[in-house]
Structures are given as structure tokens and as C-alpha cells.
């Protein structure tokens, strides 16, 4: 503490603030800061039911009322009616593209590598229209080498923190799967087996050269490989995708001035193939971003500057077979430059009112070298009601030049990125929100939070093509995209218990996400592909010394899909005549997961034990879509729900912290 005092008053305040947050995080798993935004203590998410023994921060984020429940075939993060690509997923502010493993069952983020996870329903002055989920790197030097690892029936993962001096430390993390070794009989789609494997790794060097400076050097990389042989229709498909990220962060604290700077490069790529009788094709795509970010804070003022250079190759199929007349490649490499500046100010008026305002401006140079610019104002007013909670009113305009879309529209790795330009002008949105927060009970044991929102979305894209079009016609991305506008509105509510042996929350969300397309074939207003009208989530953990019990229950309405009015067969091809766009809905989605941690040893420094988890305890075959099925008895075709063969999926894992 003497060193902090000598460093200056600002460093003391910064240290005390971190100490308060750390203390509170040790007491509770989820700290709500405003509306349904807050901070997650990744150390404690192990108590929540995990998938196949893997605690995962993004799966935990999907338990929050502002984030939509996902099916077994959806890897997206949809916050308050926005698209998956509208959510900024990042490591210390650096975007991560394609942040999911195994069809979205868990993410590329190893929780033991990070200090915490921040989430917000508003990305504010970032380059996204929706919310944000940011993984925060550790900022401490351990006194000794320490770490944690777990080995389950699905994968092995581990993290080790190594002091490299009195003021620096190295954190190493890695994860490797062996899914098909034991779970090959479970991983099925429509009765057909899936082959899948992945790995990821993370290296972070933290250095504290002085009391006023913090430096991080962070490297991340991972790769997935999957294959699916659909013998019923003699098709074979597979994909290999990767992530990579490198960044350098420098934070400087000087009296009441804080300067944060980041230099980074991040990328995501895909190589996919599919074969059917007499035809085959590949669909490579990738996106790369290289940029610099700076933030300057002084008193109530904050200024920022972002610059990023993007390179992307949208889905660029190469198909061959007698159905194709010409090569189907349609898009070449895209590149664009994006810049943003902003200035903000916040002020506390009296004891009960805080006002925040910011004015930003963005400029973008498209692949066709066309310039786009726009303002991004933000304003927020918060009012504290003595013994009655806090009310916040927020408005802002946000802009985004990146689109993500593709055949599934579910945030899976086969989706691809497009830069704004000839296919669509940059996206932008009006965002309105009214939030309420109240801590009550003995020592604020209980918390109530609610947020109602309304968004006007402009220049939206939605993919309506199929894999058969890629293989059997002269494919064009432009012809497979619907352009238009949209709106999203709803309410999220959560009652949370923060202290005691029993903790958790009950949340309810109602939301609409609607689209209007600039296409005479699609008149009127349609629900988006990911819309869920109602969602109920019940999350609970119970700690009784050497045992942690956890449970999570979901009940929600199904997502929309376009149902065929009829289909017929020509040769070995199934031709569908589709009805009204997104006029049908999947059945309701209901799932219960449970878990228990049995600790052999548990104290502040060490712990080890076993995790037992059961996914989908109710054994429901929740539909993930609809498709054409062959009845092998009479060789007839039917249009029926499809689901993954995931029923009563148990897991056992050993974990050890030293």
C-alpha cells in the first residue's frame, strides 16, 4: 500500500476500486452494474451446469436475460433482438471472430485464463450495433507458480500462471478435444454420425514496469475440424476453421489521467466442402482485421480513437458437376478502412443524478473506394431513488460496416463476413433503453433488474439461399441476400439472489425482432430467423461445503423458419417450393441441465475434485430445424423436424487447482 500511496492519489483510487470489485466478485458470481449489464466472476461459473464438464463463459452468458437461448445447432450470441454479428465478442477490447466450438456448445475462451468477463447490452462507442462481451486479462503477478486443469470425457484443458520476475508473469492455457473417442455414438444429426475435434491455446505476458504502467502481450489461436456423412442422400460434407489473435496493450495511470492503447491483429477463416451425387464444391472464406485503439480519461472526460483495416473473402464457392454451367465463384477479396473518433463527458449532479453524453464520428472507405461517414451520439441519464433503486434512460446511434451471414444464419463457423459496399450500405441503428436496478434485503442479498428496449435497424442483410443453389446453379451471393430494415423491442427482467448457500436467479424475456425487405417477392413484415417471443430461465447453485449443486432450466418459444408448401424429386435432387418467409415456428424449446462438484480438497489456494454433469435431463428431442426425410420402409419422403441425438448426455471430469 505504501508503494501505491507514493505513486499518487489516482493510482490509490484505481487500486481501491479494483479491491472493491474483487471483494464483491468473491461474494457473488454475477454483479449487475446497470440494467442487465455487469461483470461475471469466471472463477465461480464452475458451479453452474457445464456441457460435458467444460465450464465456459459464453455458455454462462446465454443464461442472462438479455441473451437469447440457443439450440444445439446455433453458435450465435443474440442480445435483445440484434443479430449475432451485432454483438462484440472480444479479449480486452480486441474483436474475436467465430468464437465457438462444437456448434456453439462452448466457446474458444478458456475461463481460467481470464480475470473476469464484462457484458453490456450496449456496445456504446464500439463499432457494433448491439451489446458486448469482453474477456478481461489478468493483471496480477503471482507469488509462485500456480495453475488449474481439468480432464473430462470430452477434452483436457489447463492454465498455468508463472512469475517471470518481481513485476511480470506469464499465463499459458491450452485445450484439446477427444470427443469421438467416447461420444461418437452421441454426436448424431438425423441419425447420422458427426466426426469432430478441436484445439485452442492462449499465451499472455503481463508486465508492471512501474506503479503507473501496465503492459499485456496476448496471443491466441485455435482450430476446429468437422465432418458429416449423410448416407441417406449420399452426401458428404466437412469444414475446417481457425481463429488467431495477437495484441499488445499498454495502460498508463498518471494522477487523474488514464491512457489506454492497444495494437492488434485478429482473423478467422473457413475451408468447407460438400459432395452430392454428380456434384461437389468448396466454400472458402476468411476475415482479417488489423487496428489501433486509444482511450484517454481525465476527470469526467473520455476521448477515444479507433482505426482498423479489414480484409475479407466472402463465401467464394468453387463447384463442379453436370448441374453447373459455369464456375460459381462470385466474390473476390474485399478490403476497407474504418476509423472512429469520439469525446464524452459524465457528471454527477448532487447525490442522486448522473448525466453522461458522448459525440462520435465514423468514416469508412469501402472496397469500391466509396466513402461513408456518420455521427454516433450517445446520452444517458441515471437517477437514484433513495431506498428505491436506480432508473437509467439511454439513447444512442450506432454504426457497423461488417455483416455476417450464410446458409444457416445461426452464427456457426460456415457463416461468412462481408464488408459494406456494393452489397449493402453500412448498417446503423437508433437504440433506446429504460432500465431499473434495485438491491434489497439483508446486506443487499437480493437484486432486481429490468430493461425495456427499442431498436430501429437500418441496412440489414438476411441470407435466403441454400446449399443446393451453390452446387446446382450459377451461384451469386447478391441473389441470395435479402436487404431491408428492421426493428427490435422487448423487456428483460431478472430477480437475483446473491448471497447464502443458495444463489441464482429467475429471469423472463419478451422480445420481437422484425424485418422488412426491399424485395417485391417478400412483402410485409417478417420475424428474424432468431426471434424468440418468450424465454424463461431459472438458474440455481447450492453450496454445502464439499459439494456444489447446480441446475439450469429453460423454456422458450421456437424460432421462425420457412416451411415448404410442397417438394418433389427430379433424379437424385429434392426440389422444394417454399411458402411464406418465416411464417412457421419450431416447437417450444425446453431443457434442464444439472451438475454437482465434489471437492476432495478445497481452500483459498488449492482445490481438486470431480464434476458430474447431465445435459438435457428431461431427454427432450428439441427440434433444431425441419428437413426432408426418407422413409426407408416405403421409400417415401416426408418433411419432419430434425434434431441432434443428444439425450441424457452425462459427463464426468476431474479438476485440480494448485
**For the ranges 63-72, 295-304, 580-589, which has the lowest average pLDDT?**
63-72
Whether domain 2-657 has CATH 1.10.3720.10: no
Nearest CA among 598, 602, 607 for reference residue 652: 598
Q: What is the dihedral of CA 452, 458, 464, 469, to 10 degrees?
A: -150
Model pLDDT for residues 252-285, shown as the tens digit of each residue: 999 889 999 999 999 999 887 777 666 677 778 8
Average pLDDT over residues 460-464: 84
- Count Cβ neighbours within 10 Å for each residue of 505-537 and write b for 16 or more, e otherwise: bbbbbebbbbbbbeeeebeeebbbbbbbbebeb
DSSP state of 587: P
Give yes or no for residue 19 having a pLDDT over 70.
Answer: no
Give the integer Cα–Cα distance in Å for 403 and 528. Answer: 15
pLDDT (0 to 100) of residue 53: 64
pLDDT (0 to 100) of residue 187: 63
The HSE-up count of residue 481 (CA atoms within 13 Å, CB side) is 20
pLDDT (0 to 100) of residue 21: 38
**For the ranges 213-222, 375-384, 406-415, which has the lowest average pLDDT?**
406-415
Give residue limits of the domains in the chain. Answer: 2-657
Model pLDDT for residues 388-440, shown as the tens digit of each residue: 899 999 999 999 999 988 766 554 566 789 999 988 999 999 999 999 999 99
Model pLDDT for residues 626-647, shown as the tens digit of each residue: 766 666 666 666 667 777 656 7
pLDDT (0 to 100) of residue 573: 61
Average pLDDT over residues 449-456: 95
Q: Are 77 and 83 in contact (CB under 8 A)?
A: no
Q: Which residue has the higher pLDDT, 8 or 528?
A: 528
Give yes or no for residue 472 having a pLDDT over 60.
Answer: no
Give yes or no for residue 199 having a pLDDT over 80.
Answer: yes
Q: Are 343 and 305 in contact (CB under 8 A)?
A: no
pLDDT (0 to 100) of residue 3: 36
Pairing between β-strand 132-137 and β-strand 88-91 as defined by DSSP bridges: parallel
pLDDT (0 to 100) of residue 637: 65
Nearest CA among 153, 140, 92, 144 for reference residue 118: 92
Average pLDDT over residues 308-325: 74
Helix extents (H) in 37-108: 57-61
Residues 6+ apart with CB under 8 A from 551: 49, 538, 539, 540, 541, 592, 593, 594, 595
Average pLDDT over residues 345-352: 92
Model pLDDT for residues 503-555, shown as the tens digit of each residue: 999 999 999 999 999 888 888 899 998 899 999 999 999 998 889 999 999 99
pTM of the model: 0.87
Q: Which residue has the higher pLDDT, 620 or 137?
A: 137
Q: Which residue has the higher pLDDT, 623 or 181?
A: 623
Give the integer Cα–Cα distance in Å for 475 and 315. Answer: 11
Give yes or no for residue 225 having a pLDDT over 80.
Answer: yes
Element (H, E) at 10: helix 9-27
Give the integer Cα–Cα distance in Å for 504 and 595. Answer: 14
pLDDT (0 to 100) of residue 346: 95
Give the integer Cα–Cα distance in Å for 100 and 87. Answer: 14
Q: What is the dihedral of CA 76, 78, 82, 83, to 10 degrees?
A: 0
DSSP state of 24: H
Q: Are 227 and 194 in contact (CB under 8 A)?
A: yes
Amino acid at each position: 500500500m505504501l508503494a501505491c500511496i507514493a505513486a499518487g492519489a489516482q493510482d490509490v483510487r484505481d487500486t481501491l476500486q479494483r479491491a472493491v470489485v474483487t471483494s464483491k466478485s468473491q461474494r457473488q458470481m454475477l454483479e449487475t452494474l446497470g440494467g442487465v449489464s455487469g461483470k461475471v466472476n469466471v472463477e465461480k461459473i464452475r458451479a453452474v451446469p457445464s456441457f460435458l464438464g467444460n465450464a465456459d463463459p459464453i455458455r454462462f452468458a446465454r443464461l442472462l436475460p438479455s441473451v437469447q437461448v440457443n439450440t444445439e445447432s446455433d453458435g450465435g450470441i443474440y442480445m435483445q433482438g440484434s443479430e449475432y454479428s451485432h454483438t462484440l465478442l472480444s479479449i480486452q477490447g480486441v474483436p474475436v471472430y467465430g468464437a465457438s466450438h462444437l456448434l456453439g456448445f462452448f466457446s474458444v475462451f478458456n475461463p481460467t485464463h481470464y480475470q473476469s468477463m464484462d457484458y453490456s447490452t450496449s456496445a456504446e462507442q464500439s463499432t457494433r450495433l448491439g451489446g458486448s462481451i469482453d474477456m478481461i486479462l489478468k493483471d496480477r503477478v503471482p507469488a509462485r507458480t500456480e495453475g488449474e486443469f481439468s480432464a473430462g470425457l470430452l477434452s483436457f484443458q489447463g492454465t498455468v500462471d508463472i512469475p517471470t520476475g518481481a513485476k511480470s508473469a506469464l499465463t499459458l492455457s491450452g485445450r484439446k478435444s477427444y470427443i469421438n473417442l467416447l461420444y461418437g455414438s452421441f454426436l448424431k444429426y438425423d441419425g447420422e454420425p458427426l466426426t469432430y475435434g478441436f484445439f485452442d491455446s492462449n499465451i499472455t505476458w503481463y508486465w508492471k514496469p512501474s506503479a503507473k504502467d501496465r503492459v499485456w502481450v496476448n496471443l491466441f489461436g485455435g482450430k476446429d475440424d468437422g465432418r458429416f456423412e449423410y448416407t441417406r442422400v449420399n452426401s458428404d460434407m466437412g469444414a475446417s476453421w481457425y481463429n488467431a489473435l495477437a495484441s499488445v496493450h499498454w495502460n498508463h495511470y498518471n494522477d487523474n489521467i488514464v491512457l489506454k492503447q492497444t495494437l492488434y491483429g485478429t482473423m478467422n477463416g473457413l475451408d468447407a466442402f460438400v459432395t452430392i451425387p454428380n456434384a461437389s464444391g468448396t466454400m472458402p472464406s476468411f476475415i482479417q482485421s488489423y487496428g489501433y485503439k486509444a482511450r484517454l480519461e481525465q476527470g469526467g472526460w473520455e476521448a477515444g480513437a479507433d482505426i482498423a483495416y479489414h480484409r475479407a473473402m466472402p463465401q467464394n464457392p468453387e463447384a463442379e458437376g453436370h448441374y453447373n454451367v459455369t464456375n460459381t465463384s462470385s466474390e473476390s477479396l474485399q478490403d476497407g478502412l474504418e476509423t472512429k473518433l469520439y469525446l464524452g463527458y459524465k457528471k454527477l449532479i448532487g447525490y442522486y443524478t448522473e448525466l453522461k453524453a458522448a459525440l462520435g464520428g465514423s468514416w469508412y472507405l469501402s472496397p469500391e473506394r466509396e466513402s461513408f461517414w456518420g455521427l454516433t451520439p450517445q446520452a444517458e441519464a441515471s437517477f437514484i431513488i433513495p431506498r428505491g433503486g436506480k432508473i437509467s434512460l439511454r439513447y444512442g446511434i450506432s454504426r457497423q460496416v461488417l455483416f455476417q451471414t450464410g446458409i444457416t444464419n445461426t452464427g456457426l463457423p460456415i457463416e461468412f463476413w462481408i464488408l459494406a459496399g456494393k452489397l449493402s450500405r453500412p448498417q446503423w441503428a437508433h437504440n433506446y433503453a429504460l432500465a431499473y436496478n434495485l438491491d434489497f434485503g439483508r446486506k443487499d442479498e437480493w437484486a432486481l433488474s429490468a430493461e425495456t428496449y427499442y431498436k430501429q435497424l437500418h441496412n440489414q442483410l438476411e441470407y435466403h439461399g441454400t446449399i443446393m443453389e451453390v452446387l446446382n446453379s450459377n451461384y451469386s451471393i447478391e441473389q441470395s441476400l435479402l436487404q431491408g430494415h428492421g426493428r427490435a423491442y422487448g423487456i428483460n427482467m431478472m430477480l437475483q439472489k446473491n448471497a447464502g448457500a443458495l444463489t441464482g436467479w429467475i429471469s423472463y424475456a419478451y422480445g420481437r425482432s422484425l424485418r422488412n425487405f426491399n424485395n417485391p417477392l417478400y412483402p410485409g413484415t417478417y420475424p428474424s430467423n432468431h426471434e424468440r417471443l418468450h424465454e424463461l430461465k431459472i438458474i440455481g447453485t447450492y453450496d454445502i461445503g464439499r459439494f456444489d449443486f447446480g441446475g439450469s432450466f429453460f423454456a422458450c418459444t421456437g424460432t421462425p423458419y420457412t416451411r415448404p408448401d410442397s417438394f418433389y424429386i427430379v433424379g437424385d435432387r429434392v426440389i422444394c417450393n417454399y411458402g411464406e418467409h418465416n411464417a412457421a415456428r419450431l416447437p417450444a424449446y425446453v431443457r434442464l441441465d444439472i451438475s454437482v462438484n465434489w471437492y476432495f480438497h478445497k481452500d483459498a489456494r488449492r482445490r481438486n475434485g470431480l464434476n458430474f454433469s447431465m445435459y438435457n435431463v428431461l431427454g427432450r428431442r428439441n427440434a433444431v430445424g425441419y428437413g426432408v426425410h426418407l422413409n426407408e420402409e416405403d421409400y417415401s419422403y416426408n418433411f419432419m423436424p430434425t434434431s441432434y441425438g443428444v439425450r441424457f448426455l452425462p459427463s464426468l471430469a476431474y479438476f485440480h487447482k494448485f
